[in-house]
Amino acid sequence: LGQLQCLDISKYREAFMNIGYTTGVFDLFHIGHVNLLRNAKALCDKLIVGVTVDELVSYKGKQSVIPFHERIQVVRACKYVDVAIPQQSIDKVEAVRKLNASFLFVGDDWYNNDRWQSMETELKKLRCNVIYFPYTTGTSSTLINQTLIDLRSKDAPSGQS
């Protein structure tokens, strides 16, 4: 009888992994971010998170409170995240193509948006499904930042803010 050979499947593991991808600014990290990352990780083997670089945040006329190099470290420290990478472009289709992602996770505030419906069609061609998670109401980095600004202006001596 011939010898039985053991097949080393470790090199094939990545080919069969479900890779998930999501992006965000992740400024003033809060429970909404944790919910997104926890829910995303539950649906994939490997979760890759694109953290938006400062230059991309500013194109929207916004500015993060926490600089990129700190935000990406915070995201990398989250136990649900396997890999955190810089998000240099808003082109999700190209990112999914490069990462070979099976899933793209986004908040449901984008659901039924014309741009996202078009993107979903393109992503299906790449065998990537868009999964919409409920947006965490009552908290956001914008709301936290505005609350801090309001609190500081109340505490400032009159004539200063």
38's CB contacts (< 8 A; 6+ apart) are 80
Q: By C-alpha distance, which of 86, 103, 124 is closest to 42?
A: 103
* pLDDT for the residue numbered 10: 52
Q: Strand 19-24: give its sheet, edge to edge.
A: 83-87, 46-52, 19-24, 103-107, 129-133
Backbone angles phi, psi at 52, to 5 degrees: -65, 125
| Number of C-beta neighbours around residue 94 at 10 A | 11
Q: By C-alpha distance, which of 1, 2, 40, 34 is closest to 21?
A: 40
Along the 161 residues of the chain, how does pLDDT read in single tens digits? 456 555 555 555 556 789 999 999 998 888 889 999 999 999 999 999 999 999 998 876 788 889 999 999 999 999 999 999 999 999 999 999 999 999 999 988 777 778 888 899 999 999 999 999 988 777 666 676 666 666 677 766 655 55
At position 4, the amino acid (one-letter code) is L
Q: How far apart are CA 39 and CA 129, in angstroms?
A: 15
* pLDDT for the residue numbered 3: 60
* pLDDT for the residue numbered 103: 97
* pLDDT for the residue numbered 11: 55
